[in-house]
Structure 1
């Protein structure tokens, strides 16, 4: 065997070893388990303009601790609330999720149904259904995440509900509702609606606690002292039929 042939064989051997090691490393990366989350109660904020989902855990004293900030892969329809089926918009407002709204076998990998329309949406006559946070990184009215990110969000939600949290509050804002951003959007047709959302954002920023939200006369009130027979908590659209249909998750819906 010539010296050149020996050098070629040595080179090819090193290449094969390198490819094998890289393949092993890549395999280990892909199989890397999601970071272990806890069964602490959680709270979620979504910010459209920044394309961020922020996840908090609630400590025993009621104080919130931000533990994760995730990029939103995709949402649709721009800023502003969802108003009718087929407008392809992702919702804004205050939503609550219980265990029946988790779907581990969604065609979008994992999914959490937001419960749209809530009491406020219904009071406005808004329509639409199956608005979710889900994987698969594609959206028509939902908030889509990468599968790996959705896996972790889903785990936090599942463990929190299994650990005794009855409902998870998910508050969806058009943007981080700072004075500067509100001024930037002051001429928007949705400003009146956004002013109803802003106190909840401020409350979390200042108090690090989950705000109490009610609906009265077709408006959101945050930590309101107003009382009325018409004042109710935002509720979920979870009739037995719609819940069963949601869990099947096998049809195409124009959102």
Structure 2
């Protein structure tokens, strides 16, 4: 009898542990996201299906939010046309979607300044670090686009690799 209770308790524990991570990955069955538009000055990110806006999010940006990213470490969020090119399910910022920065023009511009263009620009959640930083300032990343953890869970499910993202001043 005790052995059966121990096995039952172990089974319940395994089920609880397995269900803890399940909430991070959602499913999406709405219209396809065909384009993302970020308007930096408005701190808004729009998700479009064709010409229809299907979702809008308020965002945080790089800690130097004005101007196009010129080189690694400048704290700016890039501007221009890029693409979602990778996913990180183990991001220190909960979940993240990679943006195809730098493109060849970004690399050439940085090289002309004698600098590196940088890399690892993402749309991401907050995670513990971002939750602390976002309490004191809206623009807290080093160049990424930040949303809340529940929002990145939705975005991660909605957006497919290859989706264009237009980042405007």
Change (3 A) 1:34 1:113: closer
8 A Cα contact 1:73 1:146, kept in partner: no
| Structure number with bigger Rg | 1
Question: Any idea what SS the aligned residue of 1:106 has?
Answer: coil
Conserved 8 A contact 2:71-2:118: yes
Contact kept, 8 Å, 1:42 with 1:156, in 2: the verdict is: no
TM-superposition CA deviations, 1:19-47 (whole Å, max 9, x none): xxxxxxxxxxxx8x968443624210001
In the TM superposition, what is the alpha-carbon distance from 1:122 to its structure 2 partner?
A: 2.1
Q: CA 1:74 to 1:82, structure 2 compared with 1: closer, same or farther past 3 Å?
A: closer
| 8 Å contact kept, 1:72–1:145 | yes
1:172 maps to which residue?
167
Normalising by structure 1, we get a TM-score of 0.46
Name structure 2 gaps, 5 residues minimum. 1-22, 111-115, 131-139
Rounded to whole Å, the distance in 2 between the matches of 1:94 and 1:78 is 17
Instruction: Indicate the residue corresponding to 1:38 in structure 2.
Output: 30
Residue matched to 1:149: 151
Q: Would the alpha carbon gap of residues 37 and 119 (structure 1) be closer, same or farther in structure 2, given more than 3 Å must change?
A: farther
CA offsets per residue over residues 189-226 of structure 1, 9 Å max, x none?
xxxxxxxxxxxxxxxxxxxxxxxxxxxxxxxxxxxxxx
Question: Which one scores higher on RCO, CA 8 angstroms, separation ≥ 6?
Answer: 2
Is the partner of 1:88 in helix, strand or coil? coil
SS at match of 1:123: helix
RMSD: 2.2
Q: Distance in 2 between matches of 1:123 and 1:94?
A: 16
Equivalent in the alignment of 1:226: none
What residue in structure 2 maps to residue 128 of structure 1? Answer: 118
Structure 1 runs (4+) deviating above 6 angstroms are none
Contact 2:62 2:75 in 1 (8 A): no
The offset of 1:104, in angstroms, is 1.6
2:68 to 69, 76, 81: 81
Q: Quote the residue 1:54 is aligned against.
A: 46
TM-score, scaled relative to structure 2: 0.68
Task: List runs of 5+ in structure 1 lacking aligned partners.
Answer: 1-30, 59-63, 162-166, 175-255
